[in-house]
Structure 1
């Protein structure tokens, strides 16, 4: 229900409230309500405001004049602080003191305040007879995900966890009383504090890299030893992941961190993770998750067929260029052979090794040992082969584009300076740049992004190529796919495109009458420009268009075109730079001349055309028994 309205003095700040409480001036209830109102929008609080509000709530809960209304206002303030987004190291001590105060506060019943429930925080105080065997505290899931009073239950005479079929219980804790405690004829005061998240328990040993949070439950029985505490935590559901491991932990105020001391794993299932501890304090379960990767299927038939033809074409082109290099003194043999060599090795590696040989298949097996995980995201240590393939693929594909650009530079210099041969020392420079620049980029990428314990900072898990997507499957500009490949290749493709346009414009300015007909001249011009576009790898521009295309139909068309053109690039080079050369044509003609055709006897008949009464012989054939040879 709605409570009575409370006025806020608008000029009040959290600092003013803290000063008034420290000097014991002002109405304590009014100050408590003012603090609650000033922290009602926690996402707007600064780190200083959070620290001050935590100190105010701590003072209110320790006050000798605390009432039910003051207690509720203080707990409400703490519940709101659990939603604060700002974090800093200066608030650590303040919230640590606050959690300790909440533990002590939960032991006492102030004016019969036995239960205070707010969306992110629940405080329960209870006294049980000395002869009880144990007590159970259960918090059930609400529709809104917040804590609700009618979904928090106590059973003051039980020593067993309730089997939770269906996973409706968020947290369940049972404290079994030792026989020594039951022999005393005094009631036992017990306090429970349940936190919606672990914002007040920031760990240095455990990092929440994927942004997950953990519920924390505090059980306090005072200075009692020999306790038997059992807990059941509902596993956190993280999309596209599987639970890899978990640890039962308690908060160590001396270490100011989570510790597994005195806690053990008991059981685990899809409905709950069961723990046992031999003491009472703040408990939690630290869960580590492994991503469920969707591994790429085998290369489809378009890619397999295209790459296979490219491998054959590139091998023949390299062989032809090396064998006939002396007869083509003006042709850039080194450039073309280097382009083909890089592309050939890349294609072979892509077909044979792009699939991850150590796939994380099947559900992970949770370990029995209660070991603190370093993070909530588990990544397998690198086994080597997949990363090695990714490195080689990056190197040789970058090498292909580097040699493409050097080829474009050579064409530009030939046209610009009207040279018949390459400039002096051009070959030495191209060899140094062509093989050295890709090595530099790959080394830089590895040094920045690769770690043995986290290889996915450099490569992907689904297949052996550069990392590109974040855990939410969105393109991440911080990963090496962008700055280690797309950016340098983009500059090369821009330069190559400019050279192609320059080459085409220059070629079109030549006299069309230099060849036999205008049609033949235009055909040769087109083939020259197309050949240059192929060897410069300009079909890869379609890959960049795929990154920005939103229309599904256009995306499909571009995807198929990109796949066909890039996988058959080696075949295209063979056709344009080997099969169409005069040397190959002459070799084919000589080969055909040396092969005689199969003898075929030809039989003919005589045909005559009759017109009226006159017969006119139109055409006649005689019997031929000779054998023809084709040329």
Structure 2
């Protein structure tokens, strides 16, 4: 069958009769591409065909007053070239296809079974008058290569396209027989694609094929999490190394889109990339604007705008900007977020930007990323801009908010201002808390106000005990000084945290979060040591001598938190960072807050640690209450004054042992908001209550104030009789810690000492 491609140019004269009887001619040049099957017209030569076509095109057409006739027809006979011999390596074996005429379907015997045939068309492209081989039709041939055989295929600089075709065929066959690839098959595919990207010249067609393979894997049920970072690095390198003509090129596949732009380093005024996709199974549309646009591009799900100052990171060899869009989150599974059933969930598509071979960070003019929510943000929900941190979770990757500021545009969109380039997304807190915006604001104000008041009065408490030497002679006072110092550090760091976080300095934020973590642990450690001292002083019924008593307490009180924080920093310093404040930090706020971001470290080093201390302190508290009640029962002359002393002792012990922190573990259910208010009030004012019970209500402290700070009739003379107030911790080594099981006559005095020192210290009484 002879096939001719005819390029026909005609000058068409259109004669139209107007109302005034005149006619007007319009000349128009058109170009037609026609393919004639000669046998259908019984034409045997090119001359006959030319005459036939000329007669057909020059015939007159008349319709009423309208007459159309071709005045000049030019017919060119074009003879396309044949498809040349070509060797292909496929999963069905190697085939050498002989030279073929245009539109001829070449056939060959299958490698296996020999009785079947394979076909390949020499395809004619009418628009360009060129020919090329179509994909082979191997439906009747048996597969000879499986995915495990990929290891035996050698990739060279020139066979990348063939290897990618083989991989595509293998993946198609496997996913046609099953809904997923096994772990070993997935590793083989990813390793061979990495080899292709590293060795071969990547042209847009090859890049598109690689993206299609990745899209097929993501749309299947294959678990790609173990190789997620490898795939992300693969696409980055592929875009950086792609060889293409022109300023830009884009490759797309279902749920994936990549755009590469060769930026003009001399006239760079910013870049804006946008992508839209209805679902993860559709091919996204991409948009590129060669300027900085702070507003989101219309009809897009994700927009990322790069400032003009990015040119500072350009060099002669690194001027390619790459954008990526992911309509699926399969490659961004935070292992610890999933393991701990975190309330945070991905609520947008993922978009990224990068400059080849350049790490972009600490941008003064920040990148603007606007993302559309997959689920609308409801009242009380919290959204947070995050980026994919490849180094987090021991190299498995995870979400991190460092260097990103969140600006909520509406219930459907969030804008992120970030000082670096990577993969960005919006995460939603789906805990669905019942705290309204009003309650959150009030709790925030109470938190800052309470911590401010506590900081002032803790400072006064420390200054009082450090100034007046007589007040710090006993062990309870020395323990109180250390506890006050830890609580003061905790309150001050909490007040300064948001301000320090606003600098968006990575190192400063880690230092702030680690220091806050340290003072929180130190505060609870000293509360636990208060309980230990109380137990030794009141409950144990035999005399105990402990050398270097306070020194050992200090080693534990300040050393244990230091060891814990140091271990966290050594294991993963990125466990600390910039994040939305959680309820565990007393307030609920959308402001950036430097704190523990890793849930595993948070639950192990904070929640578990605090819970252990509170359980021990509660046990000691109950034992002390029983002891006090037994002493009161032995007092025949009990009166209202002793009851008041009991109440004061209970309140004082509750504050020093930090028992009010236990309300945080019960902040759920219908009474959640009420408990949150109580939790916030009592714990942020813990420092004030320490001052109230151990300075303002303590007789010895008031006397020292009157001796040294008052004048006139309020001033006391030097008060030197301290014999009845000296508790354990005197100068005698053998009296470092003395416990006595006092009788009824001593019970009132013992209760008073619990109230005064809140460490259950007792005097050395002899029976």
- State TM-score, norm by structure 2: 0.41
The alignment's TM-score, normalised by the length of structure 1, stands at: 0.48
Highest RCO, 1 vs 2 (Cα 8 Å, sep ≥ 6): 1
More strand by percentage: 2
